[in-house]
Amino acid sequence: MGTAQAKNNGLADDRITARVPHSTRTIIERAAAVYGSTISQFVIQASVERANEVLQSMEMVKLSSQDAQIFIDALTNPPAPNKRLQEAVRAHKQLVESRD
């Protein structure tokens, strides 16, 4: 899965509004000014960056060292296929071959 990216094609057709405390608006205004952007540009850029961080953290699998080693061992030394897996492979082959 890829991380979501905002497209900047110059055609903004959706609107997002939010009511914030005056102190929050002041902080955002100051930061936008320092950054050299409008409040809207700053809020959108900051929101997209944070959204990407959230999505990336949800897409990433985090394992402990022990779990990572178990996973690597399973990949490098997979167990022999059991009866159910062998039956599933046979059923799949029959289904795929019957479509040809």
3-class DSSP assignment, residue 38: coil
Q: What is the pTM of this model?
A: 0.54
Structure tokens at 39: 């409040």
State pLDDT tens for residues 21-78. 999 999 999 999 999 999 999 999 999 999 999 999 988 888 899 999 999 999 999 9
**In the chain, what is the straight-line distance between the N-terminal and C-terminal CA atoms, in Å?**
32
